[in-house]
A = this chain, B = another copy of it.
Amino acid sequence: MAAEGATDDEVSGFVRSVYTLLRVCDAEIAGWSHDGLQVVIFDPARFASELCPKFFRHRTFQSFTRLLNMYQFHRVPSAQRDSKHVVFAHPNFQRTREDLLPLIQRKSSSACRAPDCGVCQ
């Protein structure tokens, strides 16, 4: 199993921040789902105003969401229609599988158009 050769250094800053955030933050604001497979924001308003400024350079839920999508997290529709909880998940973002974090990659930005670019072609 398990991503040998995948050290912490390879985890992107954003992913590392979210993982840390979930470990240290007030359990009333955000946390892992019971199975440890989903990120649950229990209180988006407090998350934006209190947590975002501590871990990022902004204080909006939208900016947080934008980066989650950039890293291919997907929103999970909550069962309770009126719930204010916001749930996100990524197959390689799991509470007990820190070793998988390096697999989470940011989507490539606007594709390189250089005619001789060996990477993007």
Partner-B contacts on A (CB < 8 A): 45, 49, 57, 62, 74, 77-82
Contact = CB atoms under 8 A, between A and B. Distances in A.
A73 B78 CA distance: 26
Contacts of A74: 57
A57 B45 CA distance: 19
A34 B77 CA distance: 26
A49 B48 CA distance: 15
Contacts of A45: 45, 49
14 contacts: A45-B45, A45-B49, A57-B74, A57-B77, A62-B62, A77-B81, A77-B82, A78-B81, A79-B80, A79-B81, A79-B82, A80-B80, A80-B81, A81-B81
A104 B25 CA distance: 27
A48 to B, nearest CB: 8
Contacts of A79: 80-82
Contacts of A77: 57, 81-82
Contacts of A49: 45
A81 to B, nearest CB: 5
A74 B55 CA distance: 13
